[in-house]
Amino acid sequence: MSENSVFRFAGATGVGSMPGGDAREAVKTVTGSFEDFPYLPELPARGPGADMIGRTAGMLVELYARVEPSGWRIGDRPGRDTRRAWGWLREDLDALEEFTQGYEGDLKVQAVGPWTLAAALELRGGEAALSDPGACRDLAASLAEGLRLHLAEVRRRVPGARVLLQLDEPSLTAVLRGQVRTASGYRTHRAVDRQLVEHTLRDVIGAHPDGPVAVHSCAPDVPFALLRRAGVDAVSFDFALLTERDDDVIGEAVEAGTRLFAGVVPGTDGPLSDPAGSVMGVRTLWRRLGLHPGLLAEAVTLTPACGLAGASPAYARRALAQCVQAARSLADNPE
């Protein structure tokens, strides 16, 4: 756990993706919704290079990727797809700079973590980088260097912000369990040793030594204990996927100072409960763990369950507002 775990985060923020393709509109919505904890939105609807994998592939140093029919594949030199990723990210940062003039506070940026990236990026032969331990090492090193540069650019554009880095790792559990399918689809890649997974995550987290780091996964069975050992300051997850067997690791994480980014608002269009109803499960968990209600606001930040790329623009705005209102309800009435 880094020294940044002692910092207090605001009660609500978003996960990452937003619907639509207008960077200025997305940043305006996010900064207007979260005055205390905005984030740099991602707009995958714009196409290749704005998607989660392509966006992070564009951050890599001395590694490049291009789009093939089967997905993103590592290549020798930057091509049209890499340049497009660079352009989208530059456009997003321009919008962020415009709408955060004079901002001083927490700001979150997202990138795909090393293991989800290794499961998604293909080597020249078409198999995932996950199949080659050397490729995984090179990819993690390239990602760490790329993140250092990206974070420096964010700090340059928003100098008053304390930047939190969120690593998106939806494939992490599948990597640990040997559930990532090979290119043929008939087999799965061998499970990666947990110590290697932890060590690699720690190295990438080291790209942001002066700021807090979160890991996000909206998949079931998030490895809370492993992430805590790797040094994350916060874990972001879909609250609806928790079961009572997660109670012990959740309690240990809270007691160790790990912040919980609890995804309590659905990420796709549908009816929303009242804000107090959104956090009923969080209060129930707290009582089950025997934790003091006064710790809730110090330990929990509320978010949507996952990214909002699949939502309508109107619903996305309502979902972000619901997170803010639910966080207020939790702070006002933790019991």
Q: Which CATH number goes with the domain that contains 272?
A: 3.20.20.210
Question: CA-to-CA distance for 143 and 201, rounded, in angstroms?
Answer: 11
Residue 7: per-residue pLDDT? 54
Residue 11 placed within a domain: no
**Terminal alpha carbon distance of the chain:** 28
Residue 141: per-residue pLDDT? 97
Instruction: Give the H or E element holding residue 314.
Output: helix 313-332
Structural domain boundaries, residue 227: 23-332
Residue 185 zone, left/alpha/beta (φ > 0; ψ -120 to 50; rest): left
pLDDT by residue, tens only, the chain of 335 residues? 444 444 567 799 999 999 999 999 999 999 999 999 999 999 999 999 999 999 999 999 999 999 999 999 998 899 999 999 999 999 999 999 999 999 999 999 999 999 999 999 999 989 999 999 999 999 999 999 999 999 999 999 999 999 999 999 999 999 999 999 998 888 999 999 999 999 999 999 999 998 999 999 999 999 999 999 999 999 999 999 998 889 999 999 999 999 999 999 999 999 888 888 888 999 999 999 998 888 888 899 999 999 999 999 999 999 999 999 999 988 887 77
Torsion over CA: 59, 10, 17, 168 (sign): positive
Cβ-contact 116, 133 below 8 angstroms: no
Give the single-character DSSP code of 196. H
Residue 180 placed within a domain: yes
Residue 284 placed within a domain: yes
Q: In a 3-state reduction of DSSP, which class is residue 179?
A: coil
Greatest CA span in the chain, whole angstroms? Answer: 57
Residue 173 placed within a domain: yes
Question: In 3D, which of 27, 18, 15, 45 has the Cα closest to residue 168?
Answer: 15
Residue 183: per-residue pLDDT? 87
Question: CA-to-CA distance for 296 and 279, rounded, in angstroms?
Answer: 11
How many distinct structural domains can be found in the chain?
A: 1
136: CB partners within 8 A, 6+ apart = 114, 118, 129, 130, 192, 200
Residue 2 placed within a domain: no
273: CB partners within 8 A, 6+ apart = none
Residue 8: per-residue pLDDT? 64
pTM of the model: 0.95
Residue 15 placed within a domain: no
Long-range pairs of 126-130 with CB within 8 A, sequence gap ≥ 24: 126/68, 126/70, 126/73, 126/183, 127/182, 127/183, 128/180, 128/182, 128/183, 128/189, 129/74, 130/175, 130/180, 130/189, 130/192
Q: How many CB atoms lie within 10 A of CB 294?
A: 10
Residue 209 placed within a domain: yes
User: DSSP string covering 69-138, please?
Assistant: TTEEEEESS--HHHHHHHHHHHHHHHHHHHHTTT--EEEEEEEE-HHHHHHHSB-TTSSBGGG-HHHHHH
166: CB partners within 8 A, 6+ apart = 16, 39, 108, 109, 110, 111, 213, 214, 215, 216, 236
Residue 5: per-residue pLDDT? 43
Residue 1 placed within a domain: no
